[in-house]
């Protein structure tokens, strides 16, 4: 799974959609889960170092929801107002019922998106998706070089991705590419944009790595320098201005190099609802790292109750949970205090200000992480790739030296 759905571009559009409606921010009681992300399996043939899936995902590969449970979930979420559907993972194509799920989503009126690495996409399957009414396919790409693609994903998938891109285009789908940006590909920004343009992409999201799950463990190995990020953004802006390409480019700025946090998920329980492979209902992808929280599950709980009334979805809705310096901050509505998961992972206190914020008493943790990423000794630690073996090691507590610094992992 790529980091696309953490992307601000997605979030911002949802915000605009709400603002067009009534011009004011939705209140807690009026929110609708406009965006449903189905993390349909955590199994994945790729082993990307930057994956934000939980590091203990191996616990959730044997208890996946059935086709019928997914279809019921789609129906229930649609009644609550869900309209954009992302089918993601892991690699969703590892399940053989995506055709059925896509067809049901279309009947229900979803605008559906398959978020895939492309591994497992065949002519037969894409034909079935087209007939079933899948609206678009978002393909992850990693680099213009075979070397970096194969290194960062820990698989030989470079040639396959080019074939899949042609297949998507050939079936009349809009080409939506997602490229997660990190130290190993940030120097190739211009070439990546040219490649995307040559492939006929209509949209490309350049998603700077955000540090959750596997990418958090590998933070010092993945993080570029501020200078590299600035240069990448400048190249992107120049490409936008000069290339004459019609491709829409979203550059998702990494929050570590900003002095204000992102409005994570556009606010807890505001527009996003995630249902995980095992049926947990979450307000954000990594919410399960938070302590003392019990998340609803579609096997046991009514989805409307989960969204509107469950303690978990109300825990960080709005701003009444805030402490100082957020509580009295003039800007609190802009970012709602940032990301609860990042805050907890880095500070041990889920209700503190996001340490990215320059007003946070924990900002030094971010500055230290940026420094550590430049330290040759720390850089030299091996990457922990996302695979079943390493997930089992995390569960067994064998990777303590890499995770001890973070207050909770998964």
Partner 1 sequence: MENQIQHTDIYALAPHHRFQWEEAQQSYVILFPEGMVKLHGGAGEVIKRVDGKATVGDVVTALKAAFPDAEGIENDIIGMFEMAVGKAWLRKV
CB of 358 vs partner 1, minimal distance in Å: 30
109 vs 348, which CB is nearer to partner 1? 109
CA 20, CA 272: separation in Å to the nearest integer?
18
13 vs 260, which CB is nearer to partner 1? 13
**Residue 227: partners with Cβ closer than 8 Å, 6 or more residues away:** none
CA 154, CA 389: separation in Å to the nearest integer?
13
CB of 155 vs partner 1, minimal distance in Å: 26
Strands 35-39 and 281-282: unpaired
Whether the Cβ atoms of residue 38 and residue 303 lie closer than 8 Å to each other: no
CB of 20 vs partner 1, minimal distance in Å: 5
CA 410, CA 396: separation in Å to the nearest integer?
12
Whether the Cβ atoms of residue 218 and residue 183 lie closer than 8 Å to each other: no
CB of 251 vs partner 1, minimal distance in Å: 14
Whether the Cβ atoms of residue 89 and residue 4 lie closer than 8 Å to each other: no
> Cβ-count burial of 46 within 10 angstroms (0-12 exposed, 13-18 middle, 19+ buried)?
buried
Whether the Cβ atoms of residue 58 and residue 392 lie closer than 8 Å to each other: yes
Examine residue 90 and say whether the peptide bond preceding it is cis (omega within 30 degrees of 0): yes
75 vs 332, which CB is nearer to partner 1? 75
20 vs 396, which CB is nearer to partner 1? 20
Return residues touching partner 1 (CB under 8 A).
Answer: 9-10, 13-14, 16-18, 20-21, 32, 34, 79-81, 83-84, 109, 111, 113, 135-136, 138, 173-174, 176, 202-203, 205
14 vs 222, which CB is nearer to partner 1? 14
22 vs 377, which CB is nearer to partner 1? 22
């Amino acid at each position: 799974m790529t980091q696309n759905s953490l992307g601000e571009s997605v979030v911002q559009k949802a915000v605009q959609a709400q603002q067009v409606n009534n011009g004011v921010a939705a209140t807690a009681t009026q929110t609708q889960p406009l965006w449903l992300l189905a993390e349909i399996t955590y199994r994945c043939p790729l082993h990307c170092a930057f994956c934000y899936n939980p590091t203990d995902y191996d616990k959730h590969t044997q208890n996946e929801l059935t086709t019928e449970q997914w279809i019921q979930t789609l129906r229930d979420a649609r009644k609550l107002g869900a309209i954009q559907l992302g089918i993601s993972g892991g690699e969703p194509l590892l399940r053989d019922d995506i055709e059925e799920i896509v067809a049901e989503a279309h009947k229900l009126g979803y605008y559906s998106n398959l978020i895939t690495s492309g591994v497992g996409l065949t002519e037969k399957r894409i034909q079935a998706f087209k007939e079933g009414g899948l609206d678009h396919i978002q393909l992850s790409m990693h680099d213009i070089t075979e070397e970096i693609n194969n290194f960062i994903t820990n698989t030989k998938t470079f040639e396959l991705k080019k074939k899949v891109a042609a297949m998507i285009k050939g079936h009349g789908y809009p080409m939506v590419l997602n490229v997660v940006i990190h130290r190993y590909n940030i120097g190739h920004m211009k070439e990546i944009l040219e490649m995307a343009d040559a492939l006929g992409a209509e949209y490309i999201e350049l998603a700077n790595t955000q540090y959750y799950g596997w990418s958090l463990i590998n933070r010092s190995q993945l993080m570029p320098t501020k200078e590299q990020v600035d240069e990448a953004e400048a190249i992107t802006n120049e490409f936008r201005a000069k290339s004459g390409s019609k491709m829409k480019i979203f550059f998702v700025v990494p929050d570590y190099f900003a002095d204000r946090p992102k409005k994570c998920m556009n606010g807890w329980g505001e527009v996003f609802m995630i249902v995980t492979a095992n049926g947990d209902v979450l307000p954000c992808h990594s919410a399960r790292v938070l302590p003392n929280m019990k998340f609803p599950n579609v096997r046991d709980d009514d989805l409307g109750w989960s969204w509107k009334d469950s303690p978990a979805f109300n825990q960080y809705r709005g701003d009444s949970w805030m402490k100082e310096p957020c509580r009295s901050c003039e800007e609190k509505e802009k970012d709602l205090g940032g990301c609860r998961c990042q805050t907890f992972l880095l500070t041990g206190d889920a209700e503190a200000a996001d340490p990215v914020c320059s007003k946070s008493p924990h900002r030094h943790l971010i500055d230290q992480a940026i420094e550590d990423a430049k330290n040759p000794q720390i850089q030299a630690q091996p990457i922990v790739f996302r695979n079943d073996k390493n997930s089992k090691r995390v569960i067994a507590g064998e990777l303590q030296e890499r995770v001890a610094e973070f207050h909770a992992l998964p």
